[in-house]
Amino acid sequence: MPRRDGMERKDLLKANVKIFKCQGAALEKYAKKSVKVIVVGNPANTNCLTAAKSAPSIPKENFSCLTRLDHNRAKAQIALKLGVTSDDVKNVIIWGNHSSTQYPDVSHAKVKLQGKEVGVYDALKDDSWLKGEFITTVQQRGAAVIKARKLSSAMSAAKAICDHVRDIWFGTPEGEFVSMGIISDGNSYGVPDDLLYSFPVTIKNKTWKIVEGLTINDFSREKMDLTAKELAEEKETAFEFLSSA
C-alpha cells in the first residue's frame, strides 16, 4: 500500500504488516528455498522483516530491501556538486532505515577527478555541506518527489531495483560496494541483531557480505544509532500488529 501525502508511517505500517505477512506465508508455502526476495514497498525495511519472519524456512539472507534508490541519490548529489557523472562516484553508504533517519555516509566514498580517485571529503572541501544539507537532501528526497508530483518515485525507483537485482545476479565490481537493506545478525558495526538495516555490501556468487573494517567516527556513530533506534521501534510496532493480524 503506497504512502500518500500527509500519511504517517505508523498508518502505513499497520496496513502493510497484513500484506507482507500474507506474502511471507505464500513464499513459505510455495517458493523454492533459494528464492531471492526484494522488498520495495514502504516502510521497506520493516515490511521486509515481516515477510522474512512469516517465511521461517527460507534463509533470511535471501530477503533484502531497497536502499539503492537512496544510494543512487547520494551519488547524484555528489556528482552534481563536483560536475562529474554519477558513475564517477563510488562507495557511498546508506546506513539504516529507508526513511528520513537514514544516514547517507560519504566518509569512505571516492570520486574520479581528472583520471584520479580522490576521497569525496578531500574533493569537495565543504564539510558543512556534507554534514548538513547533503544528508537532509538525500533523507527527504522521497517526500520532495511526492510533493512535486503527488505520487512517489517511479522511474528512479525502477532503475534502483534493476541495479539491486543486477548486482545480486552478477556481483559487485572489484573494489566497489553498494547499499542494501539486509538482516543485521552478526554485523561488526554495533547494530542490534534481528533488524533489517541497510549496510555497505559486496556481492559474489549471488551472496552478499557486509564490508568489514570501515572506521566509524563519532558523527557517524550517532547517526547510525539513531536510525537503528527507529527500526527497533518500527519492528516493535509491526510485531504488535502482526500478532493481531
Is residue 61 a part of any domain in this protein? no
Range of the domain at 180: 67-232
Residue 22 placed within a domain = no
Q: Which residues have CB under 8 Å from 139's CB, separation 6+?
A: 99, 100, 101, 102, 104
In a domain, 238, yes or no: no
Q: Establish if 44 belongs to a structural domain.
A: no
* pLDDT tens-place string over residues 19-37: 999 999 999 999 999 999 9
pLDDT digits over 155-201, tens only?
999 999 999 999 999 999 999 999 999 999 999 999 999 999 999 99
Quote the CA–CA distance of 111 and 79 in Å, as a whole number.
8
Count of domains observed in the chain: 1
- pTM reported for the whole predicted model: 0.95
In a domain? residue 155: yes
Q: Rounded distance, CA 26 to CA 23, Å?
A: 5
Q: Which pLDDT does position 245 carry in this prediction?
A: 59
User: Does residue 19 belong to any structural domain of this protein?
Assistant: no
* Mean pLDDT per 10-residue section of the chain, whose length is 245 residues: 74 89 97 97 94 97 98 98 97 96 98 96 96 97 90 93 98 97 98 98 98 97 98 93 76
Cβ-based burial of 77 (10 A; exposed 0-12, middle 13-18, buried ≥19): buried
| Catalytic-labelled residue, pool 71, 98, 108, 164 | 98
Q: Is residue 1 part of a domain?
A: no
Cell matching residue 82: 563536483
**71 noted as active-site residue:** no
CATH number, domain at 81? 3.90.110.10
Q: Say what angle helices 44-53 and 9-30 make with each other, to 10 degrees.
A: 30
Whether 13 maps to a domain, the answer reads: no
